[in-house]
Structure 1
Amino acid sequence: MVTVGFIYPDHAAEDDYPLAERLLDQRDDGVRLVVEHIYGTDLHAVPELLDLGSPERLAEGAGLLAKHEPDAVVWACTSGSFVYGDGAAEQAAGLSAAAGGVPASSTSFAFVRAASALGLRRVAVAASYPDDVARLFVDFLAAGGVEVVAMSSAGIDTAAEVGRLTPDAVCELARAHDHPEADALLVPDTAMRTLALLDTLEKELGKPVLTANQVTVWEGLRLAGALRPVAALGTLFRSEGQ
């Protein structure tokens, strides 16, 4: 059995991970998706996000995951990784070292790699963050070869507030901020519950929808060499050629 470990900040939408595990375990070859939490200020502001994704905090998370003996580790936080810009690669390398050398990544890199896997070049972004933080995500995507044709920022100050959004509110955020020229819609916040909404959103929008917890799980499985098609986790998970 393959085990993927996720370091998740505070508490908000971590129940997306056991949901993904249940969907993945409908196949014969089960996987474990284990989540350990680190804690800090959940404010969507640059200084707080830099602290949240610091080497010390991620090393703490890696230590908590060690008992699970993960085959790969992912920092399950979009804003706490893209805020580092070019330093996000060093952040992931440091996490790998802290986790004993297993492959490691973050949600921000997961978005770039998922977009590449699907051949997406032009996307819309429906962000929950304040505008200045959302623009850093746009910059990160651009550095990874993904053009953002439209970006919205809902201006929600904390992850806890995002975690309290209803399914209807999440769907409305997505619907309202798609763009006809976009190949896909990206929804970047692991504090937002989205996995159960992916099929509905993709049918309504007629295009792939990539969400933070979805791409984070995908990235962890990719690193562990355990990608497999799953019908209920969006276009990203439906192809054998991942």
Structure 2
Amino acid sequence: MYGDKGRIGLIRPGITPSTEMDFHRYLPEGMALATAALPYQRVTLNGLSQMSDQVKTYAAMYRGFPFDLLVFACTTGSMVGGPGFDETLIRQMGEVSGIPAITTSTALMKAFSFLGVKKVVIVTPYSDALNTLEVNFLASAGYETAAIQGLGIEDTTVLPFVQPEEFYKLALAQDLSGADALFISCTGISAVELVEPLEKATGLPVLTSNQATIWYALRRIGYRAPLPGLGLLGRKPYAEN
């Protein structure tokens, strides 16, 4: 039966189906997913703010339905309001829906803590302005960015068509010395399939936005079994931290 092991309500930027496709690919049997797509015009600070302003409205549509968790799956969209913005969104989503909630930036920081990551190298599809936003948000939570490089994309019609190989090459071009992990940021791209090849190539834990979101969503609703395909994060036995 669909959802007899868990039901997740996904709220994602309406630019690409990559997040829900990754959820469907990696959710264990018996888990169900329902998706709402937010209007999203530009991959910019203003575009993110306009999108994130609608999260509360979309979360309210889930009220009264039997979901175990709501997920706002956008990395910089859950950072754009500054330090603690993810917690604000979580509170708002819970208040209007009556359902526990998480965001991608929350999931990422839980993954960092779980793996003991303090210093990270980041690759993104973003502009310098969004990269700076991400670095500052993570710094406010105690995480150091050793290096960050983006592709400078602001057009939402371009973002879905960046090939995974481009992020693979960009990741391997970074100086990873001294880093605890490599992070590929953005839920709107295809990157989860790069996790295990990059872990083999670099010897470091590798995280992506969708991978961390899926991992933490499942852990939050009580799923404790290994998660094949999600790298070290999915293999390491889970315990709350």
TM above 0.5, yes or no, is: yes
Counterpart Cα distance in 2 of 1:159 and 1:219: 26
Is structure 2 residue 6 aligned with structure 1 residue 33?
Answer: no
Is structure 2 residue 199 aligned with structure 1 residue 202?
Answer: yes
Provide the secondary structure at the position in 1 that maps to 2:154: coil
Deviations 1:206-225 (A, max 9, x none): 11111011111122123222
Corresponding residue for residue 229 of structure 1: 226
Aligned residues: 232
Residue 2 of structure 1, aligned match among 3, 6, 31: 6
Provide the secondary structure at the position in 1 that maps to 2:102: strand
CA contact (8 A) 2:128 2:152 kept: yes
1:129 Cα deviation after fit: 0.6
CA contact (8 A) 1:78 1:108 kept: yes
Residue 94 of structure 1, aligned match among 92, 107, 112: 92
CA contact (8 A) 1:126 1:178 kept: no
CA contact (8 A) 2:26 2:229 kept: no
Structure 1 residue ranges without an equivalent (≥5):
none
Residue 212 of structure 2, aligned match among 195, 210, 215: 215
Corresponding residue for residue 191 of structure 1: 188
1:174 Cα deviation after fit: 2.1
CA contact (8 A) 1:160 1:191 kept: no
Q: Give, as a single letter, the amino acid of the residue that structure 2 aligns with 1:224.
A: I
Counterpart Cα distance in 1 of 2:189 and 2:65: 25
CA contact (8 A) 1:8 1:37 kept: yes
Provide the secondary structure at the position in 1 that maps to 2:24: helix
TM-align CA RMSD: 1.8
Counterpart Cα distance in 2 of 1:123 and 1:223: 24
1:178 Cα deviation after fit: 5.0
Deviations 1:66-99 (A, max 9, x none): 5752201110001111111133321221011122
Corresponding residue for residue 19 of structure 1: 25
After TM superposition, the score normalised by the length of structure 2 is 0.89
**Percent of aligned pairs sharing the same letter:** 31
1:64 Cα deviation after fit: 4.3
CA contact (8 A) 1:9 1:76 kept: yes
Corresponding residue for residue 81 of structure 1: 78
- Where does 1:169-188 land on structure 2 (aligned, <5 Å)? 169-177=166-174, 179-188=176-185
Provide the secondary structure at the position in 2 that maps to 1:177: coil
Q: Give, as a single letter, the amino acid of the residue that structure 2 aligns with 1:3.
A: R
Counterpart Cα distance in 1 of 2:238 and 2:40: 38
Distance 1:233 1:68, change over 3 A: farther
Q: Give, as a single letter, the amino acid of the residue that structure 1 aligns with 2:31.
A: V
Counterpart Cα distance in 2 of 1:227 and 1:157: 37
